[in-house]
Amino acid sequence: MTAAETTEKDGWAPGLRNAYRFVTFNALSYQIVLGSPMVLYAKHLEASATVLGIIAGMMPLLVIFQIPAASYIARVGYRRFYLAGWSMRVMFIFLMGLVPVTAAFLEPASRLGLLLFLLFGFNLSRGISSAAWLPWITALVPAQRRGHYLARESACNNAASCATLLLTGLILGRQPGGWQFAIVFVFSALMGLASLAFLNRMPDVQSPAPARENPNPVPWREIARYPPFRKLLRANFAWSMAYGGLTTFTVAFLKTAAGMTADKVLYVTALSYLGGLGGLVLFGTRLDRHGSKPVLTVTLLGWVGVLAGWTLLAAKALAPRWGVILALQLAMGLGYAVYQMANTRLAMATVPVMGREHFFALFSVVANLTLGIAPMFWGLLIDAFGPHEFRGLGLALNQFSFFFLLVTLAYAATLAFCRRLEEPRAANVEALLRDLLAQTPLRSWVRFWPRG
């Protein structure tokens, strides 16, 4: 079956709606194991910034196994391959739920080591099986409706992520103990188990026959040199260097330097996903109309502003008031959701049908390897800077303000690479801004936009 075959009345493949249900329950699960709750538990076990960087980087680093896995997807089938890996993930989450219980006979350092071992198994199974997701969805969703699908998928993910972190904040409270972390880990495992039922109901597709039968070695060098794809890889490398570890060290900053309690950290992080939903309202329907490139450009301009705000906050030029932190978190949620949606759509449009699995594997590996290396690099940098603080011009240069300043520069570099991306049918940035100004509460400003 291909994307054009056997569709429902509304144009979607039969059973594709189960993808939204899978994404929803999957977000209810992974936001605990890969998000702020895991960072807080690691801090509970007295993890250093370097260890936090390892935890944040482990998942994207192990995506490298998509490269060897891509050759086996066609033989096994998209759904079967993905389902096997996601089932292994759930098993590891159940085991993580037992780690806090071992406090009766294990020291914090031993529990942290056990947790890292289980996270490695979780992320390894995820890294291998995730090679099937993008080619599977690309084959299922017609090209003209991919922006619409990605907006819906992202909305499900953001709503579920927000709900997960709000619930986790209620369970953990201000000063959580081990039994509270055990509860949230078991909840994560149960939600992961529920997601498997919907994953199994999604329609399967066949990989293109030439990709299955070609006995020659995969031409990775030629794939990487394909001009539009090479430019996309370059932009994603810069993005991943900027974003890698950002959420982890934002949580660490709020917990330590800003002095927020665990529940408040989770609440403000949860609200960032409301920003993601707002971004989908603004840009979801405009992706297919204007293209990905102008959306990426506008989003990255916003990211530079957001990171400048975090830099001023860490430099003590701004007081860590709730209003300031919420505004930055909402903007981060909006920026992440819109960037990922536009970036994935552009990858779908750039990657050719022949060798689709290998193109997407390389695309994911380049981005995720950088996402894995970046938090380790940032963590080492933060630890190396240490508790020192230098003051001048009313600003404080400390480990977190230095980190946020460098990330701001990394986003500026990403914007420069984004301007070189190729998308033939994309509108220009001015057209997108005119559309946004005309159709949002900002429409009253449109009269000031230059004409001609």
Choice among 12-16, 114-118, 310-314, 383-387 with the minimum mean pLDDT: 12-16
Give the model's pLDDT for residue 208: 56
- Distance (Å, whole) CA 384 – CA 313: 21
Phi, psi (degrees; rounded to nearest 5) at 392: 180, 140
- Distance (Å, whole) CA 259 – CA 298: 33
- Distance (Å, whole) CA 375 – CA 361: 22
Give the model's pLDDT for residue 304: 94
Q: Closest Cα to residue 43, out of 266, 240, 268, 322?
A: 266
Q: Which CATH class is domain 17-205+220-440?
A: mainly alpha
Which amino acid would we find at residue 141?
V
- Distance (Å, whole) CA 125 – CA 132: 12
Residue 202 has pLDDT above 60, yes or no: yes
| High-pLDDT (> 90) share of the chain, % | 25
- Distance (Å, whole) CA 401 – CA 250: 11
Residue 212 has pLDDT above 60, yes or no: no
With H, G, I as helix, E, B as strand and everything else as coil, classify residue 271. helix
**Residue ranges of domains in the chain:** 17-205+220-440
Which amino acid would we find at residue 52?
L
Choice among 1-15, 16-30, 140-154, 258-272 with the minimum mean pLDDT: 1-15
Q: Closest Cα to residue 200, out of 80, 296, 95?
A: 80
- Distance (Å, whole) CA 77 – CA 80: 5
- Distance (Å, whole) CA 86 – CA 183: 21
Give the model's pLDDT for residue 444: 43
Residue 3 has pLDDT above 60, yes or no: no
CA dihedral of residues 54, 401, 325, 176 (deg, nearest 10): 40
- Distance (Å, whole) CA 170 – CA 165: 9
Give the model's pLDDT for residue 47: 86
Yes or no: say if 260 and 138 are a contact pair by the CB < 8 Å rule.
no
- Distance (Å, whole) CA 359 – CA 344: 13
Residue 450 has pLDDT above 60, yes or no: no
Determine the longest span between alpha carbons in the chain, in angstroms.
74
Instruction: Give the tens place of pLDDT for each residue, 403-444.
Output: 999 999 999 999 999 888 888 777 777 777 777 776 655 454
